[in-house]
Structure 1
Amino acid sequence: MRVIRCAGLTKRYGATVAVDRLDLTVDAGQVFGFLGPNGSGKTTTMRMLLGLVTPTAGHAWVNERRLPDPDGLARVGAMIEEPAFYPWLTGRRNLEVVALHGPPPPRPDAVGAALERVGLSAVADRKVKAYSQGMRQRLGLAAALLADPVLLVLDEPTNGMDPAGIREFRALLRSLADDGTTVFLSSHLLAEVEQVCDRVAVMNHGRLVEQGPVAGLSTVRRRLRIVLDETDLDRAREALAGRTLRTDGPEALLVEGTDGRAVNQALGNAGVWARQILVERPGLEEAFLTLTVAEEVTGATAPR
């Protein structure tokens, strides 16, 4: 089942294109990472998926219902940017207010269960004005869990959390996915995304520039590290002319997107013998930077 599907989804604000003809699918039971620098269109996309922003063109389906059909959003939990609560009420009372006014009606034990799941039971009766930023983020997730959602849409959910809290949050998201809840999240913490997500999509300037499994994205820009005698560097550069390469220290070259056999043959034909040829697979962070920096900078900043 595809819980999210976008076909040509577009949002313009005057002359600025915030989201440009987005085609995207998210299958059930995944933790899906939605990545991109500020202004790339991530939050605008999420707002369209939640019915908060009307698309300029294209269509979106949530839980196999074409928006704006409200039935598609009946079991969707969301936390977009920083959650807002009544600071003079306790965490528990805030959730009770959310449960009272938010359809569909949750089950009677939903507030306690949500507090327990996000690790706030011990401070549930403390006023929210005394909560740390990380605790407020947890409370926002608890509010999103009240209706037992099949889809969670989370925008930067670990803002303000310390490393231990982020690790616990990561385990929580994984357990939710293992229980069948689909998690669609944006984050700037790429190391965390790499550890928790099954698939990712990368946005830049409103366009989708790459999507696929995390492992596939982090290896798509693989490279070779060639270790040589320093005296052979110039001849090696000449032998590998036409390939994308750069110097890496006094005795090595990095060659992008090629195979070791072809490089070794080119060097051998030039009488250059490498001491080592190593395949390097950059992590998600480096792949992300490569994808976004490679995109042409338009000079316009799209709304988030």
Structure 2
Amino acid sequence: MPLTVDHIDYAYNFQKQVLHDVSLSISGNRIMGLIGPNGSGKSTLIRVILDLLQMQGGSVHINGHRNSSRSAKMSAIYLSSNDYLPEFLTGEEYLRFMHGLYTEPLDLNVLGHHFDRYSMSGRHRDLIEDYSHGMRKKLQLIAAFMLERRLTVIDETLNGVDIESVKVFEKDVRKLAGDGRSVLLCSHDFNVLENVADDVAVLIQGALVFQGDLGSVNKDYGNLSALASEYIQSMEVE
């Protein structure tokens, strides 16, 4: 199982509770969409999963290993919601650095192919400081698609990416979620999630209130927006 999260709790400074007994799992060849309102704890959950924040209860296993282990870290890649990349590097140097972290060789032919497909032809030797916000996001995506980890976690990385490249992303992420690999995709773009996700999880006020397959969601609620609205309204009533 690429990702198993069991009964996770987290509180900032051990006082402000953010995550409440969260459990979820993603099996091989699946893409899970993670949705919820702002402030629901989605980014915190992602950081706990990837051992960037230490959980205060529960456990996380990536590819069968505890998330704090080197094996787990080598099995996962995280695309954060920001675009804080080393501006003093070129795109190619950044990808070479990322491949070095995972002890993988960099294939320049594959690199060039991805840059062409994401409308960045010839820009791989330009400094990242000269990249637009959207180009930096696409560079993050290219790194993930080239490295092909067992678990890829994407936190709102599509913000600022042009429509044509989003369509390329949809094809690439479906291809990535193969051969036992899985993707956790956190996004407010329900259209993208409906195009690529197999499953969806809804996090509200730090609690996982729904987890199921997209086919059942469409059958029971009509679409993701209706599902999210129903659970958000029910929490507000409480």
TM-score when scaled to structure 1? 0.71
1:10-89 to structure 2, matched below 5 A, reads 10-13=9-12, 14-89=14-89
Secondary structure in structure 2 of the residue aligned to 1:296: helix
1:290 aligns with 2:221: no
Instruction: Go from structure 1 to structure 2 and tell me whether the alpha carbon gap of 1:17 and 1:297 turns closer, same or farther (over 3 Å shift).
Output: farther
Name the CA distance, whole Å, in 2 between partners of 1:115 and 1:36. Answer: 36
Name the CA distance, whole Å, in 2 between partners of 1:8 and 1:75. Answer: 22
Instruction: Go from structure 1 to structure 2 and tell me whether the alpha carbon gap of 1:126 and 1:132 turns closer, same or farther (over 3 Å shift).
Output: same
1:184 aligns with 2:184: yes
Q: Give the corresponding residue for 1:126.
A: 126
Check conservation: 1:61, 1:72, Cα contact below 8 A.
yes
Name the CA distance, whole Å, in 2 between partners of 1:131 and 1:108. Answer: 21
Instruction: Go from structure 1 to structure 2 and tell me whether the alpha carbon gap of 1:122 and 1:297 turns closer, same or farther (over 3 Å shift).
Output: farther
Instruction: Go from structure 1 to structure 2 and tell me whether the alpha carbon gap of 1:33 and 1:137 turns closer, same or farther (over 3 Å shift).
Output: same
Name the CA distance, whole Å, in 2 between partners of 1:41 and 1:113. Answer: 36
1:205 aligns with 2:198: no
Secondary structure in structure 2 of the residue aligned to 1:28: coil
For structure 1, which segment, 182-191 or 9-18, has the greater mean C-alpha deviation from structure 2 after superposition?
A: 9-18
Q: Which amino acid in 1 is paired with 2:17?
A: V
* Bigger CA radius of gyration: 1
Q: Deviation at 1:114?
A: 4.5
Name the CA distance, whole Å, in 1 between partners of 2:180 and 2:48. Answer: 23
Q: CA RMSD in A?
A: 2.1
Q: Deviation at 1:126?
A: 2.0
Deviation readout 1:71-129 (Å, 9 max, x if unpaired): 122121111222322224321122223334x2x311242x6534533634532122222
Instruction: Go from structure 1 to structure 2 and tell me whether the alpha carbon gap of 1:131 and 1:19 turns closer, same or farther (over 3 Å shift).
Output: same
Deviation readout 1:141-178 (Å, 9 max, x if unpaired): 23334543111111012110122221121111112114
Instruction: Go from structure 1 to structure 2 and tell me whether the alpha carbon gap of 1:116 and 1:180 turns closer, same or farther (over 3 Å shift).
Output: farther
Q: Which amino acid in 2 is paired with 1:52?
A: L
Q: Deviation at 1:60?
A: 1.0
Check conservation: 1:19, 1:207, Cα contact below 8 A.
yes
Question: Percent of aligned pairs with the same residue?
Answer: 27
Deviation readout 1:243-282 (Å, 9 max, x if unpaired): xxxxxxxxxxxxxxxxxxxxxxxxxxxxxxxxxxxxxxx2
Secondary structure in structure 1 of the residue aligned to 2:236: coil
Q: Deviation at 1:17?
A: 1.5
Name the CA distance, whole Å, in 1 between partners of 2:49 and 2:122. Answer: 34
Q: Give the corresponding residue for 1:92.
A: 92
Which structure has more RCO (C-alpha within 8 Å, separation ≥ 6)? 2
Q: Give the corresponding residue for 2:8.
A: 9
1:85-164 to structure 2, matched below 5 A, reads 85-100=85-100, 102=101, 104-109=102-107, 112-114=109-111, 116-117=113-114, 119=118, 120-164=120-164
Secondary structure in structure 1 of the residue aligned to 2:173: helix
Secondary structure in structure 2 of the residue aligned to 1:8: strand
Check conservation: 1:211, 1:217, Cα contact below 8 A.
no
Q: How many pairs does the alignment contain?
A: 234
- Specify every segment of 5 or more residues in structure 2 that has no aligned partner in the other structure, as ranges: none
Name the CA distance, whole Å, in 2 between partners of 1:37 and 1:164. Answer: 27
- Specify every segment of 5 or more residues in structure 1 that has no aligned partner in the other structure, as ranges: 222-281, 299-304
Name the CA distance, whole Å, in 1 between partners of 2:129 and 2:106. Answer: 26
